[in-house]
Structure formats: structure tokens, C-alpha cells
Amino acid sequence: MARTALVTGGTRGIGKAICLALKQAGYTVAANYAGNDAAAEAFSKETGIPAYKWSVADYEACVAGIGRVELAHGPVDILVNNAGITRDAPFHKMTPQQWREVIETNLSGVFNMTHPVWNGMRERGFGRIITISSINGQKGQFAQANYSAAKAGDIGFTKALAQEGARKGITVNAICPGYIATDMVMAVPEKVREQIIETIPVGRLGEPEEIARCVAFLASDEAGFITGATLTANGGQYLV
Ligand code: NDP
């Protein structure tokens, strides 16, 4: 039977490309999203992949949502923590709400989604947790104290949990994309975007499919010896 993959924030951008790559690799795929019903409907119509609505920032909603997914598609073998938001502001203007929203979605959301699937993976002796962190969690970014802190936290979470999952057949890895051409980056003013591209050695934004291929590899049996890793895919913009 095909393994089941659940991708948070799977209906748009990088998440959508991840869903398609995993479907193409033969997995049963389910997507989660937060609120954009129109995008989710269009996604399901186009791809044939079901989309389930709940916020990863809400632990109880995650437990209930994962329950619905598992009832329909079987236990989650591969969890891709991809959902993420930005609420950018220079620190002197950053509000507690901007801080909280980003931490609750981008960091606590990873706990909220991973915790309910963890014991099942341990019992079955197989699992893949793949979290989409960011270049800005590695290097920090002006006006992103909230986002950089959350994404750096995702890397620490990954390294800690990898040690706990290793003997149980569960690998836990993070991917740090550089700037990828999605709604999130297209929302940045064009002038700023052009300045960003000048700092990328390959001279362009990345494509969502380039991150999706990294996920498909880390999900595969071939990647069983890779755990606790941070896979950087940023066009050479930041070398770690
Ligand atoms: P998009 O803004 O294009 O899509 C975000 C997706 O996440 C949407 O499906 C959205 O759902 C969902 N989402 C947002 N908040 C929640 C929530 N609380 N619960 C469930 N789903 C939620 O983002 P990208 O594709 O650009 O980014 C995907 C991931 O990659 C993020 O974690 C981001 O931080 C990371 N990343 C992106 C980079 C880039 O350059 N684009 C660079 C580095 C990292 P809905 O449609 O309902 O709003």
C-alpha cells in the first residue's frame, strides 16, 4: 500500500509543488491549508489531491485534522511542515501580535503537527518529518526578528527530534530554501526583490519545484541515513 504524506500549507506555492512531487513519486497525498478556500478548491480540482482546512497554530485543531486525514487515507507516514507566514517589521515597530502570529504558525505549528503523528510513527517503525525552514533562519534578516527566530527554532527542533527518532526508523530533517518565486516573495516590493536577486549568485529566484524535489528525496527510502540534517537550497546566496 502506498505511504501517506500530509503537507501543511499544501495548496499554494512551495507546498503545492511538494504535493505534486510526492504524488508523482507514488504517495497518497493530503494537503492542509488555513483559510484561502478559493485557492484550495482550485488546487484540489487541478491536482485531484484533497485539501483539509485547519490552522497549524491550533494544537487541538491539528489533532482533529490529522484524525480526519488518517481516517480517510491511513496513518501519516510522511509529514511535511511547510505552512508558514511572514509579518515583517523592523524590531522597534514590531508588535507583540506580529511576534506571536509568526512564532505560533512557523514554530509552534511544527510542534502541533509533529506531536500527534509521532507515536504512530514510533509504533510502526517508520516516519519522515520534513520541515521547511528558511535561509533567514540561518543568517537572520532585517525586519524579520520573528520569522528568523521561528525558522532557527525549526532547525533546533529538527536536530533534537532526529536523535529521538533515529532508533525508531524516523528521520527528521529541515530544508532551508533561499528566495523562491511564490506569493510570499512576490508580495515583496519589486525594487526590493530586484535587490535581493542581485545577491543570489545564480542570478534568479528559485522555483517551488526545486524545493519539492529535495522533499521527495528526503521522504524516500534512499534517504534513510540522513537525519538531523539541514539541506540548503539557496542558489549560493548564503554558504553554511
Ligand atoms: P505561500 O504564502 O505561497 O503559501 C503558504 C501556505 O501556507 C498556504 O497554503 C497557506 O494557506 C498556508 N498557511 C499559512 N498559515 C497557515 C496556518 N496557520 N495553518 C495552515 N496553513 C497555513 O508560502 P510559500 O510557498 O512561499 O512558503 C512555504 C514555506 O516555505 C513557508 O514555511 C515559508 O516560510 C518557507 N519559505 C519560503 C521561501 C520563499 O522564498 N517563498 C523561502 C524560505 C522559506 P492559505 O492558502 O489558506 O493561506
Question: Has 33 been annotated as catalytic?
Answer: no
- Give me the catalytic one of 27, 33, 52, 147: 147
Within a domain: residue 124? yes
**pLDDT averaged over the chain?**
98
Q: Nearest C-alpha to atom 36 of ligand 1 is from which residue?
A: 134
Neighbours of 189 (CB within 10 A): 8
Average pLDDT of the residues in 10-14:
98
Ligand 1: atom nearest CA of 187 is: 2
Q: What is the pLDDT of residue 12?
A: 97
Q: Please report whether residue 26 resides in a domain.
A: yes
Within a domain: 239: no
Look up cell 490529522; give the residue: 66
101: domain CATH number is 3.40.50.720
> 48-70 pLDDT, tens per residue?
999 999 999 999 999 999 999 99
The angle that helices 145-165 and 96-103 make with each other, rounded to 10 degrees, is: 30
pLDDT tens-digit readout, 82-105: 999 999 999 999 999 999 999 999
Measured in Å, residue 33 CA sits from the centre of ligand 1 at 9
Decide: 78 and 125 in contact? Cβ < 8 Å: no
Mean pLDDT within 152-166: 99
Q: Please check whether residue 165 is in contact with residue 227, taking contact to mean a CB–CB distance below 8 angstroms.
A: yes
Neighbours of 17 (CB within 10 A): 23
Q: Which of 110, 141, 154, 184 to mutate to test the pocket of ligand 1 (most atoms within 8 A of CB)?
A: 184
Q: Which domain holds residue 76?
A: 4-229
- Closest listed residue to residue 179, CA positions, set 239, 140, 106, 234: 234
Give the rounded percent of residues in the chain with a pLDDT score beyond 70: 100
Task: Decide if 173 is inside a domain.
Answer: yes
Q: What are the CA-CA distances from residue 76 to residues 27, 82, 105, 117 (Å)?
A: 11, 15, 20, 7
- The pLDDT value given to residue 1: 84
CB neighbourhood size of 78 (10 A)? 26
Residue 234 falls inside a structural domain: no
pLDDT tens-digit map of 107-149: 999 999 999 999 999 999 999 999 999 999 999 999 999 999 9
* Any domain includes 237: no
Does residue 235 form part of some domain?
no
Q: Is 236 left (phi over 0), alpha (psi -120 to 50) or beta?
A: left
pLDDT for res 127: 98
Q: Are 83 and 107 in contact (CB under 8 A)?
A: no
- Rounded to whole angstroms, how far apart are CA atoms 71 and 33? 18
Other C-beta atoms lying within 10 Å of the C-beta of residue 144: 22
Per-residue pLDDT band at 184 (split at 50, 70, 90): confident
pLDDT digits (tens, 9 = 90+) for 32-49: 999 999 999 999 999 999
Say if residues 58 and 111 touch (Cβ distance below 8 Å). Answer: no
**190's grid cell:** 519589486
CA 140 to chain CA mean position, Å: 18
The alpha carbon of 18 and the centre of ligand 1 are apart by a number of angstroms equal to 12
Average pLDDT, integer, range 181-203: 94
Number of domains in the chain: 1
Looking at the domain assignment, is residue 184 inside a domain? yes
Evaluate if residue 163 carries a pLDDT over 90. Answer: yes
Ligand 1 atom closest to 56 (CA): 19
